[in-house]
Amino acid sequence: MPAIPRLDLANVPKHIIQRGVNKTPCFLHRANYWKYLDELALAASQTGCAVHAYVLMTNHVHLLVTPPEDGATSRMMQQLGTRYVRYFNAMHQRTGTLWEGRFRSCLVSADDYFLTCQRYIELNPVRAGMVSRPADYRWSSYHANAQGRIDPVVQPHAVYLGLAADTPTRWKTYAALVASGISDAQREEISRYTHQGRAFGPPAFQRQVRRELVAETRLRKRGRPAASRGSSSIK
């Protein structure tokens, strides 16, 4: 299947990866991590985006975000990137870019695929050998999603909320789900699809995304910008 160019669709979750240029660190000490989270919360609030999961690694970040309208995720990332780079450069007396070009991303189906992607994000420090358990890594949404820690960045998705009717049971259920891990095939698929800009989901979801892409491409060829929408037919 050919790679699908990046789409930013209303109400469709999106997995985002942004890396430091030449794999250089994006965070040099604790203050940098806190500043990034503050700016992420602000950018999400200003664009109406809901951040469901995140992990801040040494030289890259992963986010799982749902935008309220077409293009909102890109606006959030632009605001976040601009403000954080300005701060980082001033603090560390450097100039120039911090990020490796545009962020990479893929649309994620709002079903079991969503929870697989969320777990993939929060298990990153374990896969990298930085910790033995996700609970041991400070800079991720695991503590909010599995342990109930208050986190101003995180807004639960309906799929996550559907794990249990009451909050304590939901935390426990999700923690057990993360502890079960994901398969090597799932990890490889998420990584490959995100780098290729392909949709992560069942065949029907992927077909819907391709139809959306064709419609948008035709609209732009006629010389009109794509209309901003408050909802999407993709589920």
Show me where the domains of the chain are located: 14-221
| Share above pLDDT 90 across residues of the chain, in percent, rounded to a whole number | 83
Core vs surface per residue 106-129: b (16+ CB within 10 A) or e: bbbbbeebbbbbbbbbbbbbbeee
Confidence band for 5, pLDDT divided at 50, 70 and 90: low
Name the amino acid, one letter, at 17: I
| pTM (2 d.p.) | 0.91
Name the amino acid, one letter, at 152: P
Nearest CA to 16 out of 84, 97, 78 is that of 78
Residue 224 has pLDDT above 70, yes or no: no
Task: Evaluate whether 120 touches 190 at the Cβ level (below 8 Å).
Answer: yes
Residue range 14-221, CATH number: 3.30.70.1290
pLDDT of residue 217: 58
Distance from chain centroid for Cα 113: 13
Alpha carbons within 13 angstroms on the beta-carbon side of residue 83 total 16
Confidence band for 3, pLDDT divided at 50, 70 and 90: very low
Residue-averaged pLDDT of the chain: 92
Radius of gyration of the chain (CA): 17
